Amino acid sequence: MKDVQNVRLPARTTAASQPKAEPRSAHPHENLDRASRAAVAYLSAGVSPNAFIQAWSDWALHLARAPGRQLELAERAQENMAKLMAQSLLPSTEGAPAFEPKPYDHRFRHPGWEKPPFRNLQQGFLAVQDWWDYATDHLRGLRPDDADRTRFMARQILDLWSPSNFPALNPEIIEATRKSQGKNLGEGARNFVHDFVNTFAQIHEPAPEGFQIGKDLACTPGEVVFRNDLFELIQYAPATAEVQAEPVLIVPAWIMKYYILDLSPHNSMVRYLVEQGFTVFMISWCNPTAEQAELSLEDYREHGVIAALDAVNAILPERKVHAVGYCLGGTILSIAAATMARDKDERLASISLMAAQVDFAEAGELLLFLDESQVAFLEDMMWEKGYLDRPQMARAFSAIRSEDLIYSRGVRRYWLGKEDLPTDMGVWVSDTTRMPARMHSEYLRGLFLENRLSAGRFAVAGRVIALKDIAVPIFAVGTETDHIAPWKSVYKTQLFTDGDMTFVLTSGGHNSGIVNEPGLERGHHRIAHRPAGALYVGPDAWLAKNAPQPGSWWPAWTTWLKEKSSGVVPPPGMGAPEKGLAPIMAAPGSYVHQT
């Protein structure tokens, strides 16, 4: 095997499943067009104006020729106005409010919102929000995508004009200003200038004290035992006298740093697995630069997942591997596993998919503005730099929950003058990465836009792969409030596979539901086993059939992994120096520090 410190990827790889990338030496006039569109993309946070115009036009035209619907909306407005007037006549302490904020909306939690005149402002805003939710509901003849897009955009506009955003209308800001004699506004101004400069200059701030990577976070002991241009492979040191014979290989998403699965010692999934007697390997992806713009989705499969599997097999020969994929890492693991099944490669003992999708027809609000125009818009923005930059990724995720992630945070930092309290999860969220232009384009087109994987049209090396070919046991996890990979979309893995499967639905969101360590008094999960060849059960029927169980799903998962293992053996050494896999450096390695 090659010296791991000198492994380099081919300059360019191809995959028959992917559309051919446009030549970078395009006609000068076309380059001018692309540069112009890229400039617009930066101003619009990467959202194509065509999506806005098309959605609003479709909604307005269908509403214009629906007089019955117009009468419904007029009646709804009258009903909401009547509720507001009736409520205004009652003392603020009597009766339940006519309109309630959404469960994830924390803007109106301060007690001052329960007193006049602020209660009237809050209820008026929520009444308008309720009307727009009703107005942008699906309408006969209106494309469902355009109805959802219109609702999303209406919500963004309303959130901007919420009374909670204005100092003179927000009782919490008024109270803080009075108590501090205006010091909160001075602190908020400093916070605003600091954030503005950092955003404009693209400054990546170091982690705060107590949250240092390698010391406080990502601190499970181990060694980097393999490295190429795409990833580092970490082998973690054993913590038990004996370990399960089959190792665990974790494939995280490359949209963020890997250490979401190795946060603080108390909530590190990696540490938990090691302490349960597993030999654990982790892929730590690089943070791509402009020079890596041509990295493809196939590169992430062949030179990522398969290269890591080859290294694990070299260290532990003749041992099958428990492969684990999180989020986007689960998608590429599914592609790799289906390819291995097609090619009679039997090195996997099991597959665990955590908040990972194989079908993208119901991919949540991230899919709202994804069409041919939007993908072309993003491609033009990436064409200029060679990657999708971190601010665009962060804004896309924040916009989905703008009430909390944008406006509540803005009020707290800029009007109340409060600093963000650092948390391990918060530090990880801010430690964003870039996406290579070619890979991101192939991912959006082949998976999100055309849904090739579940449709049986995704080819690897010129031959189509099928998820139903996967014969090894699967453990799939969805999270109840996931807005990135909705649990019903994750559940569809049951629809496209025929083998032995255990499905878990856990409380929490895309990250908090996965990082769900035992010992907490919060949270619950549902779990059920489907034997190979069993008939399909829909998600709603599955939910009704399986009652929630208190606590973390991690113990059930490790029990399942042990049942799929062949027994315990002495712990292996670190790496395999005789095969060119000598330890390179201590975990967490160097790629996790790339900015």
Note the pLDDT tens digit of each residue in 340-383.
999 999 999 999 999 999 999 887 776 676 777 777 777 777 77
* Same-domain status, 67 and 110: yes
The answer as to whether 533 is a domain residue is yes
* Same-domain status, 376 and 485: yes
* Same-domain status, 380 and 400: no
* Same-domain status, 329 and 464: yes
Question: Where is the domain boundary, 401, 433, 465?
Answer: 433
* Containing structural domain, residue 473: 222-389+434-593
Burial class for 43, CB neighbours closer than 10 Å (0-12, 13-18, 19+): exposed
Confidence at residue 12, expressed as pLDDT on a 0 to 100 scale: 45
* Same-domain status, 328 and 369: yes
Checking if the pLDDT of 473 tops 90, the result is yes
* Same-domain status, 472 and 323: yes
Q: Determine the 3-state secondary structure of 105 from DSSP.
A: coil
* Same-domain status, 470 and 554: yes
The answer as to whether 516 is a domain residue is yes
- H helix count then E strand count, the chain: 22, 17
Question: Where is the domain boundary, 381, 411, 433?
Answer: 433
Checking if the pLDDT of 17 tops 60, the result is no
Question: What token pair was written down for 253?
Answer: 């998403």
Residues 6+ apart with CB under 8 A from 333: 251, 305, 323, 324, 325, 351, 353, 356
Query: Closest by alpha carbon to 92, among 70, 59, 123?
Result: 123
Query: Closest by alpha carbon to 232, among 205, 259, 211?
Result: 259
What's the mean per-residue pLDDT of the chain? 88
Task: Verify whether residue 327 is a known catalytic residue.
Answer: yes
* Same-domain status, 449 and 483: yes
The answer as to whether 214 is a domain residue is no
The answer as to whether 23 is a domain residue is no
Who wins on pLDDT, 43 or 400? 43
Who wins on pLDDT, 106 or 545? 545
Checking if the pLDDT of 543 tops 80, the result is yes
Who wins on pLDDT, 18 or 212? 212
* Same-domain status, 374 and 244: yes
The answer as to whether 581 is a domain residue is yes
Query: Closest by alpha carbon to 288, among 511, 438, 425?
Result: 438
Angle CA 586–589–591, to nearest 5 = 175
* Same-domain status, 316 and 365: yes
The answer as to whether 140 is a domain residue is yes
Who wins on pLDDT, 127 or 397? 127
Which amino acid, residue 5? Q
Tell whether omega for the bond before 97 is within 30 degrees of 0, i.e. cis: no
Total domains, the chain: 3
Beta strands in 297-453 (DSSP E): 321-326, 348-354, 387-388, 435-436
Q: Global pTM? A: 0.87
Tell whether omega for the bond before 117 is within 30 degrees of 0, i.e. cis: yes
CATH of the domain at 578: 3.40.50.1820
Q: Among the options 15, 47, 327, 355, which is catalytic? A: 327
Confidence at residue 144, expressed as pLDDT on a 0 to 100 scale: 86
* Same-domain status, 338 and 470: yes
Checking if the pLDDT of 19 tops 60, the result is no
Confidence at residue 7, expressed as pLDDT on a 0 to 100 scale: 58
The answer as to whether 513 is a domain residue is yes
Checking if the pLDDT of 10 tops 70, the result is no
* Same-domain status, 257 and 145: no
The answer as to whether 382 is a domain residue is yes
Q: How does residue 145 score in pLDDT terms, banded at 50, 70 and 90? A: confident
